[in-house]
Amino acid sequence: MKYLYDYDKTIKVGDIVTGYYKGYWRVVEVRKRKEYAPIIVGELVLDSNGNKAKKKRNEWDSSYSKKITLCEVKKIIDYDLEYFTNKKKNLLNLVVPPIPFG
């Protein structure tokens, strides 16, 4: 269960976030509410694969939002590099099987 204090209080208009819906969203409005986490109004800028997306707006409870920082982008890049490196190794092992030692 999400509580009032389970949201990033630093999210502001202009930030890029992930939210309840898939993709990366630019915050266009933060609506304060009594006793609940604010509502985030976002405009989709990239789909979940990082491709440019058709602009659409949506809103959700801010407790579902995570701000995308430079550190987060680095984590995504590091993960992708490791993922694709492993994928290449697997493909290479299919085409050129490892030479057994011994």
Express each pLDDT in 21-62 by its tens digit. Answer: 999 999 999 999 988 899 999 999 999 888 899 989 999 999
8 Å CB contact between 11 and 17: yes
Cα gap 83→21, rounded to integer Å: 24
What pTM, to 2 d.p., does this model score? 0.74
At 21 the pLDDT is 95
Which three-class secondary structure state does DSSP give residue 73?
Answer: helix
Q: Is residue 14's pLDDT more than 60?
A: yes
For residue 32, what are the CA distances in angstroms to 16, 61, 66, 91?
A: 19, 10, 17, 51
CA–chain centroid gap for 38, Å, is 19
Q: Is residue 19's pLDDT more than 80?
A: yes
